């Protein structure tokens, strides 16, 4: 038996183990099939009894008698589509980065299965890596054309999963701009269910993270990719459920020349008994094996952003007055948003001209130094993948734009895209943004992307390759920029939340979660995001009331309570704050900083149901369980006799905790002491929270309360007794 920690090859069996799961594959006469994926088996005796009449292939092919969605779609130059990729060998190999694409890191070895289609000499490699402590397995699939003629790839799976049973549900996270990642559950019945994005990005509409689940059995899948994606699930009469995830085959047709390879985006898969556990595995995995660099575990600064305070209407004086208050209230980073460059006085012009709008800023280098002199870090907004036709860049280089000859381009937010599939355009974007960073010594970059892709065209590449070539171009730029500026904190933003995916998180440890900052909506947006992504990746800001997106009003306390579930910021005209509000915000920031390690990097559990129901919220527990913070949210006031309760989670059931809550002005009010067991198992009454909001000031608000749990030491407990 060939064996490396976590990976075993025994005759025709291949075993991958993580701390709590086992995945067993078998070479069954040339086809590799799933025998087992589930809770860890420490003994594999009898595994052959789990072989199956109806094989559960790791990759279904066309023309082999498979009557469901085939994972791999290949067209040969004679027009035929049949492949018969047969198992050739298995090897344990050193872990390798995927060429041209972002991927996970931190493993030493992988299991590689190799397949050959004898007539065409097409080779397939499926490489599995087990991430032990996260209970995640990553799968990287690639194809190599060993023949003499080009081969056309119509669909290349990142992963195919096949499980026994056909009573699963398919869970997806869907929405739109300002309403991202609402959880949906679809019963998998007859026919296919599809979760897909074809807008050129991972999208606001359908996140690539999905699950299939039934009681006691959950499989979670995500893709390390930011472009078009598709996940298809399908059950059959033989009692199997199949999931295939990868790049969307929409407008995909890749010419694989002789001697060339194609690398599919990495897929990551987790098995757990419950949806919450699967989600915790995924989040642990993202924190450890996706987010990287200096900011991986480093406390993220509390920022102030001028967007909702000023939109395009600002000058240096206004920015400096905002920065004064930002420093006074204890913020650490000031972010200058859209409007500082070119002739950018509105969203009709200027994109592409990454030069100072000197009349407004007085020079970004000078402005940045003045902001730093106030004790703040300086960050700046860019939207590098776009151009306005009213810009010097477009006038000089119209050929850089993504346009189809002789066709009017589709404009969104008055802008068109740059053709990042073209290496020359990649070079321009890289140099322009590097210059901006150097000019103002930026310590933070907000990388925006405010439209979807429509006019895909590049004269030098095949049209079926465009979407993916764009992504490769983008990743190339990001790879170089992040390597050149390792200290800069990058935050990805695609109109807020339009590219919340593992691909972007490989370069940018944070993502602006949504443009919707309404606390009530943020509860479900953040809970849906937390299904797959840890809170340290989620930008969450307190903004003004009535809220600019929804017109709802909520107390400042509630807005903070919700935002402290992610990386805190304020997006607000701070110069208009009353003294009382300023004090309240200063205390919020000071509280957040005191508990920042816990809030940003602790283990976060969701409470209640953020998508429907009477209550929701979170509890974040420190690794040693000595401290926890919970925010409970009651979306609407119910009649007085209606009791709302919760069980907390993740606490040390053997310990006793001092329980307090934060009142409206930031004082910690002691409630008493309670055992971890009682807090986790008992129903803690929450409807008293209704008393917290001044309903004369805020009509129909949401109700929240922040609780702090601190372990009482055994010694102190004894003294008290």
- Binding footprint of ligand DGJ on the chain (CB under 6 A): 307, 337-338, 381, 448, 450, 493, 495-496, 512, 515
Give the shortest CB-352-to-ligand DGJ separation in angstroms: 14
For 127-191, the DSSP string reads EEEEETTTTEEEEEEEEEE-SSS-EEEEE-EEEEEEEE-S--EEEEEE--TTS--EEEEEE--SS
Burial 243-263 (b: 16+ CB within 10 A, else e): bbbbbbbeebbbbbeeeeebb
Task: Report CA-CA distances (Å) from 360 to 273, 306, 320, 339, 388.
Answer: 56, 14, 12, 9, 19
Catalytic residue among 458, 501, 515, 687: 515
For ligand DGJ, which is the closer residue by CB, 213 or 448?
448
616 touches 521 (CB < 8 A): no
Per the CB < 8 A criterion, the answer to whether 329 and 573 are in contact is no
- Least Cβ distance, residue 635 to ligand DGJ (angstroms): 24
Q: For 550, which DSSP code?
A: T
Nearest residue (CB) to ligand DGJ, 117 versus 571:
571
- Indicate the Cα dihedral angle 659, 663, 665, 670, nearest 10°: -40
Q: Would residue 515 show up in a list of annotated catalytic residues for this protein?
A: yes
Question: In the complex, what is the shortest distance from the CB of residue 516 to ligand DGJ, in angstroms, rounded to a whole number?
Answer: 10
Best CA proximity match to 33, nearest among 50, 11, 9: 50
* Cβ closest to ligand DGJ, residue 307 vs residue 444: 307
| CB closer to ligand DGJ, 134 vs 361 | 361
* Among 376, 362, 439, residue whose Cα is nearest residue 574: 376
Quote the CA–CA distance of 143 and 135 in Å, as a whole number.
27
Q: Report the nearest approach of ligand DGJ to the CB of residue 496 (Å).
A: 4
CA–CA separation, 280 vs 507, rounded Å? 22
Residue 573 annotated among the catalytic residues of the structure: no
Name the residue nearer to ligand DGJ (CB basis): 231 or 306. Answer: 306
Supply 356's token pair: 């100072």
Q: Please, what is the minimum distance in Å from the beta carbon of residue 73 to ligand DGJ?
A: 36
CB of 413 to ligand DGJ, least distance (A): 8
Closest contact distance (angstroms) between CB of 265 and ligand DGJ is 25
CB closer to ligand DGJ out of 217 and 385 = 385
For residues 344 and 625, which CB has a smaller minimum distance to ligand DGJ in the complex? Answer: 344
Task: Count Cβ atoms below 10 Å from residue 642 Cβ, excluding itself.
Answer: 11
Find out whether 39 and 19 touch, Cβ atoms under 8 Å: no
- How far separated are the first and last CA of the chain, in Å rounded? 59
What residues does 377 pair with on adjacent strands? 333
- What's the DSSP call for residue 300? P
Closer to ligand DGJ by Cβ: residue 57 or 450: 450
**Of 538, 509, 536, 471, residue with least CA distance to 181:** 538
Q: Which residue in the shown chain puts its C-beta closest to ligand DGJ?
A: 338
| Residue nearer to ligand DGJ on the CB measure, 381 or 618 | 381
Least Å distance, CB 533 to ligand DGJ, is 17
Q: How far is the CB of 414 from ligand DGJ (least distance, A)?
A: 11
Taking the complex as a whole, the smallest distance from the CB of residue 338 to ligand DGJ amounts, in Å, to 4
For ligand DGJ, the closer CB: 422 or 571: 571
Q: Phi first, then psi: what are they for 554, rounded to 5°?
A: -140, 155
Give yes or no for a contact between 72 and 83, defined as CB atoms under 8 angstroms apart.
yes
Q: How far is the CB of 493 from ligand DGJ (least distance, A)?
A: 5
Q: Which two tokens stand for residue 439?
A: 């000019």
Q: Helices 466-484 and 423-440 sit at what angle, rounded to 10 degrees?
A: 30
- For residues 160 and 627, what is the distance between their CA atoms, to the nearest angstrom? 41
- Which tokens in the block code for residue 268? 């990551």
Q: CB under 8 Å to 26, separation ≥6 — which residues? A: 12, 13, 14, 32, 33, 35, 47, 51
Please, what sign has the CA dihedral across residues 508, 513, 514, 516?
negative
Question: Is residue 207 within 8 Å of 181, Cβ to Cβ?
Answer: yes
Nearer to ligand DGJ, 147 or 569 (CB): 569
Q: Which of the residues 448, 518, 521, 652 is marked catalytic?
A: 448
Q: How far apart are the C-alpha atoms of 187 and 191, rounded to whole Å?
A: 11
Closest to 208 in 3D by CA, of 224, 188, 185, 187: 224
Question: Angle between the 556-563 and 519-530 helix axes, to the nearest 10 degrees?
Answer: 10
Q: Cite the active site residues.
A: 448, 515
């Amino acid at each position: 038996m060939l064996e490396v920690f976590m990976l075993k090859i025994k005759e025709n069996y291949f075993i991958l183990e993580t701390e709590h799961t086992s995945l067993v594959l078998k070479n069954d006469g040339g086809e590799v099939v799933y025998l087992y994926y589930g809770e860890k088996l420490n003994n594999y005796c009898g595994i052959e009894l789990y072989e199956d009449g109806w094989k559960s292939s790791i990759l279904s092919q066309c023309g082999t008698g498979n009557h469901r969605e085939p994972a791999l779609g290949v067209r040969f130059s004679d027009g035929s589509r049949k492949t018969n990729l047969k198992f050739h060998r298995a090897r344990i190999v050193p872990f390798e980065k995927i060429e041209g694409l972002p991927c996970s890191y931190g493993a030493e070895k992988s299991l590689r299965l190799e397949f050959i289609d004898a007539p065409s000499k097409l080779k397939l490699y499926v490489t599995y890596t087990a991430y032990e402590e996260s209970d995640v397995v990553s799968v990287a699939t690639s194809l190599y054309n060993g023949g003499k003629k080009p081969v056309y790839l119509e669909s290349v799976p990142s992963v195919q999963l096949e499980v026994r049973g056909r009573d699963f549900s398919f869970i997806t996270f869907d929405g739109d701009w300002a309403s991202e990642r609402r959880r949906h559950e679809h019963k998998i019945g007859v026919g296919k269910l599809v979760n897909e994005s074809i807008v050129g990005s991972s999208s606001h509409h359908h996140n690539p993270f999905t699950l299939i689940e039934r009681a006691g059995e959950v499989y979670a899948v995500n893709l390390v990719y930011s472009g078009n994606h598709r996940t298809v699930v399908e059950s059959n009469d033989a009692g199997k459920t199949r999931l295939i995830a990868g790049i969307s085959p929409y407008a995909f047709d890749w010419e694989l020349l002789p001697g060339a390879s194609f690398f599919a985006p990495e897929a990551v898969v987790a098995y757990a008994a419950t949806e919450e556990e699967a989600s915790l595995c995924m989040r642990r995995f993202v924190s450890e094996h996706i987010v990287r660099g200096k900011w991986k575990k480093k406390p993220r600064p509390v920022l102030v952003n001028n967007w909702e305070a000023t939109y395009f209407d600002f000058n240096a004086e206004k920015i400096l007055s905002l920065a004064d208050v930002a420093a006074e209230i204890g913020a650490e980073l000031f972010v200058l948003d859209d409007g500082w460059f070119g002739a950018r006085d509105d969203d009709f012009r200027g994109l592409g001209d990454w030069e100072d709008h000197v009349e407004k800023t007085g020079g970004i280098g000078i402005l940045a130094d003045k902001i730093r002199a106030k004790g703040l870090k300086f960050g700046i907004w860019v939207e590098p993948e776009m151009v306005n036709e009213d810009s010097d860049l477009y006038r000089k280089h119209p050929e850089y734009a993504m346009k189809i000859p002789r066709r009017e381009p589709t404009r969104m937010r008055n802008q068109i895209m740059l053709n990042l599939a073209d290496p020359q355009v990649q070079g321009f974007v890289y140099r322009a943004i590097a210059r901006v960073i150097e000019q103002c010594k930026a310590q933070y970059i907000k990388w925006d992307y405010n439209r979807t892709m429509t006019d895909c065209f590049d004269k030098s590449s095949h049209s079926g390759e465009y979407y993916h070539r764009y992504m490769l171009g983008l990743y190339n730029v990001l790879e170089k920029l992040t390597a050149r500026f390792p200290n800069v904190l990058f935050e990805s933003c695609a109109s807020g939340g339009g590219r919340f995916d593992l691909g972007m998180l490989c370069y940018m440890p944070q993502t602006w979660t949504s443009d919707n900052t309404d606390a009530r909506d943020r509860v479900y947006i953040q809970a849906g995001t937390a299904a797959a992504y840890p809170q340290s990746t989620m930008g969450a800001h307190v903004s003004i009331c009535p809220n600019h997106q929804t017109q709802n009003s909520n107390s400042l306390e509630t807005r903070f309570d919700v935002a402290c579930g992610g990386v805190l910021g304020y997006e607000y005209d701070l110069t208009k704050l009353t003294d009382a509000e300023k004090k309240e915000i200063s205390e919020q920031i000071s509280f957040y900083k005191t508990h920042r390690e816990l809030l940003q990097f602790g283990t976060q559990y969701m409470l209640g149901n953020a998508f429907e129901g009477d209550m929701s919220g979170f509890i974040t527990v420190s690794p040693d369980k000595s401290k926890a913070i919970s925010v409970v949210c009651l979306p609407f006031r119910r009649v007085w006799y209606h009791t709302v309760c919760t069980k907390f989670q993740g606490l040390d059931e053997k310990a006793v905790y001092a329980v307090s809550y934060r009142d409206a002005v930031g004082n910690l009010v002691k409630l008493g002491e309670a055992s971890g067991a009682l807090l986790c198992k008992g129903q803690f009454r929450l409807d008293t929270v209704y008393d917290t909001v001044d309903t004369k000031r805020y009509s129909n608000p949401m109700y929240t309360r922040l609780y702090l749990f601190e372990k009482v030491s055994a010694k102190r407990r004894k003294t008290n007794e």
